[in-house]
Amino acid sequence: MLYVAYYRVSTPKQGESGLSLAAQQAAVRSYVPDPAAIVATFQEVESSKNNGRPELAKAVVECRRLGATLLVAKLDRMSRDAAYILRLDVPFVAVDMPELNTLTKGIFASLAQQERELISKRTQEALVAK
């Protein structure tokens, strides 16, 4: 099986520190026993609210071109938009939930979207409180 790995952090600070990216890369490496099976990697610094992420789009195109599976460390690194995840027309594996199937993919995608909405609300409330 061939994989295209996708890594995402939400803020430039996370991208600069490398800690979150390193953790995602370690999780992906632990899932794939043969490093040669990862045929391409893409990473970006972008909020999960934005589904217009160019590196994710490139990863999806590469999956289609190679017949590969999109591989992410955590489902929420791919997207927190349930509809986006459900529309994705390439196979994918989230290392933190390798047992995802057609039914559970929708459930967990909806939970990820709800978490995104809660994060946004908490951030707005914190800014108002300042």
pLDDT for 40 equals: 98
Lowest mean pLDDT among 6-10, 26-30, 111-115: 111-115
Q: How far is CA 128 from CA 117, 121, 122, 124, 125, in A?
A: 17, 11, 10, 6, 5
Give residue for tokens 């893409």.
42
Q: What is the pTM (predicted TM-score) of this model?
A: 0.72
Q: Which domain holds residue 87?
A: 3-129
Q: Per-residue confidence at 109, pLDDT binned at 50, 70, 90?
A: low
**Whole-number Å distance between alpha carbons of 82 and 97:** 15
Instruction: State the average pLDDT for the chain.
Output: 80
Phi/psi at 37 (5° precision): -70, -20
Question: Highest mean pLDDT: which of 38-42, 69-73, 106-110, 126-130?
Answer: 38-42
CATH classification at residue 61: 3.40.50.1390
Q: What is the mean pLDDT of residues 35-47?
A: 91
Q: Are 82 and 109 in contact (CB under 8 A)?
A: yes
* H or E segment to which residue 6 belongs: strand 3-9
